[in-house]
Copies of this chain bind each other. A is one copy, B any other.
Amino acid sequence: MTIEAQVSRRGGRDARRIIRTAPKVEMLPTLKRGLPVIEPMDAEQVERIHEASLAILEEVGVVFRDPIALEDWKRAGADVRGERVHLDRALVMDLIKTIPPDIEYFARNPAKNVQLGGPNSIFVPMTGAPYMRDLDDVRRGPTIADLGTFHKLAHMMPALHSSAHHIVEPMDIVVAHRHLHITYSSMKHSDKIFMGMTTSPKNAEDVLDMCEILFGEGFMETHAVTTGNCNGNSPLVWDQVMLGAMRAFCRRNQPVLCSPFVLGGANTPASTAAAVAQLNAEALSALAYTQVIRKGCPAIYGHYLSTVSMQSGAPMAGTPEISLMNFMIGQMARRYNVPWRTSNLLGGAKIFDAQAGYESAMTMMAVLMSGANYIWHSAGWNEAGMHCSIAKFVVDAEVCAMGYRMTQGIQWGDFDEALAAVRDVGPGGHYLGHPHTQANFERAFFIPKLFDNNSIEQWKVDGAKDIKQRALDHAKHLLGEYQEPTLDQAKDEELRVYIDRRSREIPAVDALNEDH
């Protein structure tokens, strides 16, 4: 039920109370960048990477572990030797040129539609965590109810543009049926866009069927409503599950992220430039395949990218080379005029301590300077993705709002008016009482709610809470205020019927594929 509907059903006092206490769940529109990007490569260096990638595709080739894809490639004119597909440059470049440079995403609430590509970017929360840190910061296995909690929070955080999908893995649902309940949770708890599970080709079909129920028959033929992620197995391998899911999405004209899964130094050379050349070859091979599946279907240049600790082999976050590679990948994606995805606010810390803060912010700042469009994993990621933290989720989402503001660039609209204040106030004066200040302060300067900027004395009076505790308090408050964005009753019913039927049809044993 909408607030207005509730108000109209109740009396005056109640109504006023509801309106007064109703949380503001306005979403920030698509981030349209007003800040230049960082481009560490000159045109010649971009071509050097491009040429190296094409040479890898031609001479080394890419393994497609999937008979259908191998047949598709043969028909498309590629040089297929066993499972290895050698792609010549003319074929690759010819294929990727039909990828649309921009995507408009449609949400069930049209006010939450967003754009992607060029200067347009969106923030999407993390997904895929097998553990969570809950409202008491306890690390434990998540349930479908916990996933609902994250979807509610994603719905309420203004800078998040999507509710994603399995932010945490609902361990209380059998693997084979999870995709159904995850998708329903995304659709039910938020009216923002969401992601579609790619854990198997059949699961992908189920998700897309559910999208068809939500958006109506035929709508998806001409409108993007969800996004699948297909991870590569770097170096230079795409597997059957991912390729099958890719086909399901592309055939229905829904975008997929073509995401090489790169652990710099472990599955790439120990060189940022060469790692990007390999990653770029991998991404190009999958992007090209999307156009073999369906010419003109939307697709996104993806990647998951980390560097690894030489000692432990563990992925790291916020390292200088991850930042540099993001800048470089941005240049490559722009060279091909394809929207691109990266990962945001990553932490390798086990707890929500200063390490997590440094890692996350270094990641975000580099991501924003790189010009990435689909900015995934933007809230909650810690412990190298092993858990999603509620505290970190709400802080990350606010930090995204800060990054959003920075990336919009400089506001010039009131420049002359503001300069007049300099004359009014003069040397030694102060501005807080000036009418221009009072009219413009909030618009001019971002004040983070979850960062404490009081004196230490005031902070002690307020309970001497660290940011984790303040964030958990805030999350509890938000959840208390949450109001479900009502789903059309007939569609809701149809979705439930679909889930029931498929749950009966699908044996409760299956394989699980992670995506990152």
Least CB distance from A64 to B in Å reads 10
**Contact A454 to B314, CB < 8 A, known contacts A235-B422, A357-B355:** yes
Q: A168-195 CB contact bits vs B (8 Å, 1 = yes)?
A: 0000000000000000000000000000
Q: Which residue of the partner chain B has the closest CB to A276?
A: B410
Q: Which residue of the partner chain B has the closest CB to A59?
A: B423
CB neighbours (8 Å) of A446 from chain B are 307, 319-321
Q: Report how far A314 CA is from B457 CA in the complex, Å.
A: 13
Q: Report how far A139 CA is from B455 CA in the complex, Å.
A: 14
Q: Report how far A139 CA is from B265 CA in the complex, Å.
A: 42
Q: How many copies does the complex hold?
A: 2
CB neighbours (8 Å) of A464 from chain B are 350
Q: Are B453 and A384 in contact (CB under 8 A)?
A: yes
Q: Are A352 and B350 in contact (CB under 8 A)?
A: no
Q: Are B354 and A352 in contact (CB under 8 A)?
A: yes
Q: Are B411 and A444 in contact (CB under 8 A)?
A: no
Least CB distance from A242 to B in Å reads 14
Which listed residue (B310, B366, B466) contacts A441, Cβ 8 A?
A: B310
Q: Are B361 and A357 in contact (CB under 8 A)?
A: yes
CB neighbours (8 Å) of A277 from chain B are 415, 419, 422
Interface positions, chain A 254-286, Cβ under 8 Å from B, are 264-275, 277-278
Give the contact stretch, choosing among A14-22, A88-96, A208-216, A425-433.
A425-433
Least CB distance from A40 to B in Å reads 5
Give the contact stretch, choosing among A2-10, A145-153, A400-408, A477-485.
A400-408
Residues of A bordering B, CB below 8 Å: 34-36, 38-41, 45, 48, 52, 55-56, 59-63, 84, 139, 233, 235-237, 264-275, 277-278, 307-321, 323-324, 327-328, 348-362, 364-366, 369, 383-384, 386, 392, 395, 399, 402-403, 405-406, 409-412, 414-415, 418-419, 421-423, 425-432, 434, 436-437, 440-448, 450-456, 458-459, 464, 466-468
Q: Can you report 20 A-B residue pairs in the complex whose CB atoms are below 8 A from each other?
A: A35-B38, A38-B369, A60-B427, A61-B427, A235-B425, A264-B445, A265-B441, A269-B434, A271-B411, A278-B422, A307-B446, A308-B445, A313-B432, A314-B454, A321-B444, A324-B410, A354-B357, A354-B466, A354-B468, A366-B406
